[in-house]
Structure 1
Amino acid sequence: MKKRVEKDGRIPSIIPIVDLYNAVSLRFSIPVGGENFDAYVGKPRLTIAVGTESFHTVLNGDAVVESPSKGEVIWRDDLGATCRRWNWRQGTRTRLETVGGRMWFILESLAAMPEEALEGAAKMLVSGLRELAPGCKVYKQEITTAKASVASSDMRVG
């Protein structure tokens, strides 16, 4: 996305919720993704692909199912890959199409990113979510490992 902005000077509007997390991603230079939590089968998890997982996507305007490369970092559920290359390439099966229901957001950062910047990105996302869905409930959880930090929010619009 950053390359597209540098090349074209803008990114196309998709839908308000996607536009919001794309703006957070660009502002803080971190991968941000949003998922339809209710479309998951089982719990989402970050893992290394074996290379046989199904990944629903679009290629040249047509729906296709492909597989991630063996060893690629993916988000997945019990059915297959939901997002590839960490949080860079989101699949169609769990994508957000409207503001509503349970939505799950991932903000990824490396250790070099100051904690305050990650918190600023989360605050920008939550502020935008509350504008798009007044009265929504936002739950935040930070998950860390030795090499990466992932903050996620689960939003429910009732």
Structure 2
Amino acid sequence: MPVEPTIAPEIFALRPDFAALSIYAEDARNSPSDAHSETLLRDACLALDSAPWAQAHLAAWRETYRAFGAKPQRTPCSVEALRKRAQRDGMLPAINAVVDLYNALSVRYALPVGGEDAALYEGSPRLIRATGDEPFDTVSEGVPKIETAEPGEVVWRDDHGITCRRWNWRQGIRTRITEHSTQMWFVLERLEPMPIDALLEAGEKLVEGLHRLSRSVRTSLLYLNASGRSNRVPETASEP
């Protein structure tokens, strides 16, 4: 059954312009990083500012983090963290073919992109503002650790607990995509002024990359914004 994420109303109260593209992949295949996936990463690092909305989109995410009490200079959104690493090292670390694919697209489109092993989810993913008692599994100095979110923090979670803290800052260990993952869920997260057309284009590139890795993969897309959810993605960038 396809993953159908939900977004709580308080998220749109915080950012009415927020829109997400959810992509579920079934019978997918992954593999170790290879020359192709490393080339995707390298080319993306060379095109950090090719998207004309890049700097403004990053600024919108920093503003959003401050709005729910986070400090983006300490815990930046996922794409800003990737960009900083690319600027510092000139390259991003290769992890596996699927993670390399969506990290490359994240950097190229200046867009937070998350990937999860859907088979390890308990219930459907949902984006909420935390109460402060939700568990989050992570690693600190090489040792497994359970943290809790701060009250009001924006988090992705399932029935078990948090899967990603501070909207898209840090992913948990439990649901990470590995080389053995075959059911995958991706979420691409956009704020103004990034065009909706660009969000959809990034989604198309992700699906193309998944099909390159596995011809048998089946994908389904779900577009979510303040107006609701739709299996029909918008046709123009004019939709809010």
Measure the CA separation in 2 of the matches of 1:14 and 1:62. Answer: 20
Coordinate RMSD, CA, aligned: 1.7
Paired residue secondary structure (1:101): coil
* Higher normalized contact order (CA 8 Å, seq sep 6+, divided by chain length): 2
Gaps of 5+ in 2: 1-81, 232-240
Cα deviation for residue 99 of structure 1 reads 5.5
State the distance in 2 between where 1:28 and 1:143 align. Answer: 19
**Which structure shows the bigger proportion of residues in helix conformation?**
2
Distance in 2 separating the partners of 1:19 and 1:68: 28
Structure 1 unmatched ranges of 5 or more:
152-158
Corresponding residue to 2:200 among 103, 106, 119: 119
TM-score, structure 2 length as denominator? Answer: 0.59
Deviation digits for residues 1-35 of structure 1 (CA, Å, limit 9, x no counterpart): 11111111111111111111100100100110111
| Structure 1 counterpart of 2:159, one-letter code | D
Aligned residue runs from structure 1 range 4-153, under 5 A = 4-98=85-179, 100-145=181-226
Task: Figure out how many residues of one structure are paired with residues of the other and give that number.
Answer: 148
Q: Distance in 2 between matches of 1:99 and 1:119?
A: 27
Distance 1:139 1:99 in 2: 21
Using the TM superposition, give the Cα deviation of residue 100 of structure 1 relative to its aligned residue in structure 2, in angstroms. 3.9
Choose between structure 1 and 2: higher strand proportion.
Answer: 1
Runs of 4+ in structure 1 displaced over 4 angstroms? none
In structure 2, C-alpha distance between the alignment counterparts of 1:45 and 1:66, rounded to whole Å: 19
Secondary structure at 1:97 match in 2: coil
Residue type at the aligned position of 1:15:
N
